[in-house]
């Protein structure tokens, strides 16, 4: 509810940014980036605020203590290496089916930002959003809150599918939905097995960083060609 309120107030953020010279009102790329950064930061603060008092500390609540960090990180990396080929096999199958049916995949805003934006500020903000702020907000909410709540009331499989489905829907990518759903289920599984967001968060950051790096390399090769 609080995040929805903030989303409704984003025009105020745009006007404020314009007043200090950022001028995002007439700049769709900057407006999208700033808006998503604000929403994700608010989501992080809201989840952390409600987590206060749920355990000895916020870190303990999400299993981010120092003693759980390294083992959870190691398990997360092993899980990702195992699942990584399947994520792209599923994505490849969906893309091929889309082409066979004569459908044209829609261009996402982040694709426009990566392949059309030349300003270092906007590209830098997009990278921070995709590789750091976004994964933290999504892991706190989809695994730390949604999956945990569902898991107390349903089976592991149901909680994984519902939270993973919501995670995939949030990305608004129909072509990537099956592979994002699979990734969401992996992240939920890692969180339950380790009891720590360190595992799912490390995988999420690694995955997004890999995708962002690959996209930037492809863009550079296209420019050279």
Compute the distance between CA of residue 133 and CA of residue 131 in angstroms, rounded to an integer: 7
Residue whose structure tokens are 């929403």: 39
Are 197 and 191 in contact, with CB atoms under 8 Å apart?
yes
Compute the distance between CA of residue 211 and CA of residue 128 in angstroms, rounded to an integer: 13
pLDDT of the residue at 59: 78
Quick one: what percent of the chain has pLDDT higher than 70?
87
pLDDT at 108 over 80: no
Task: Name which of 9-18, 45-54, 166-175 the model is least confident about.
Answer: 9-18
The DSSP 8-state label assigned to residue 27 in this structure reads -
Task: Name which of 16-25, 135-144, 193-202, 215-224 the model is least confident about.
Answer: 16-25
Give the burial class of 42: count Cβ atoms within 10 A of its Cβ; 0-12 exposed, 13-18 middle, 19 or more buried: middle
pLDDT of the residue at 26: 60
pLDDT at 177 over 90: yes
* Predicted TM-score (pTM) of this structure: 0.87
* pLDDT band, very low/low/confident/very high, at 50 (cuts 50, 70, 90): confident
Extract the tokens encoding 149.
């709540």
Exposure of 162 in the CB half-sphere (CA atoms within 13 A): 14
Average pLDDT over residues 209-223: 91
Are 171 and 180 in contact, with CB atoms under 8 Å apart?
yes
* Beta-strand runs (E) in 70-151: none
pLDDT of the residue at 212: 93
| Average pLDDT taken over every residue of the chain | 86
């Amino acid at each position: 509810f609080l995040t929805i309120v903030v989303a409704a107030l984003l025009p105020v953020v745009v006007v404020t940014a314009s007043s200090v010279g950022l001028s995002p009102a007439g700049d769709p790329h900057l407006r999208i980036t700033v808006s998503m950064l604000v929403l994700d930061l608010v989501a992080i603060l809201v989840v952390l605020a409600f987590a206060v008092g749920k355990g000895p500390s916020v870190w303990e609540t999400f299993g981010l203590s120092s003693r759980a960090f390294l083992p959870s990180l190691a398990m997360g990396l092993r899980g990702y290496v195992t699942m990584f080929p399947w994520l792209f096999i599923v994505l490849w199958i969906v893309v091929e089916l889309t082409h066979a049916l004569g459908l044209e995949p829609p261009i996402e805003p982040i694709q426009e930002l990566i392949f059309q934006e030349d300003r270092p500020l906007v590209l830098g903000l997009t990278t921070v959003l995709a590789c750091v702020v976004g994964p933290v907000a999504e892991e706190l909410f989809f695994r730390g809150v949604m999956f945990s709540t569902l898991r107390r009331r349903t089976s592991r499989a149901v909680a994984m599918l519902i939270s993973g489905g919501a995670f995939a829907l949030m990305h608004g990518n129909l072509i990537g939905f099956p592979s994002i759903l699979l990734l969401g289920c992996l992240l939920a599984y890692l969180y339950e097995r380790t009891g720590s967001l360190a595992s799912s968060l490390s995988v999420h950051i690694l995955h997004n960083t890999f995708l962002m790096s690959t996209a930037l390399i492809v863009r550079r090769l296209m420019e050279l060609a």
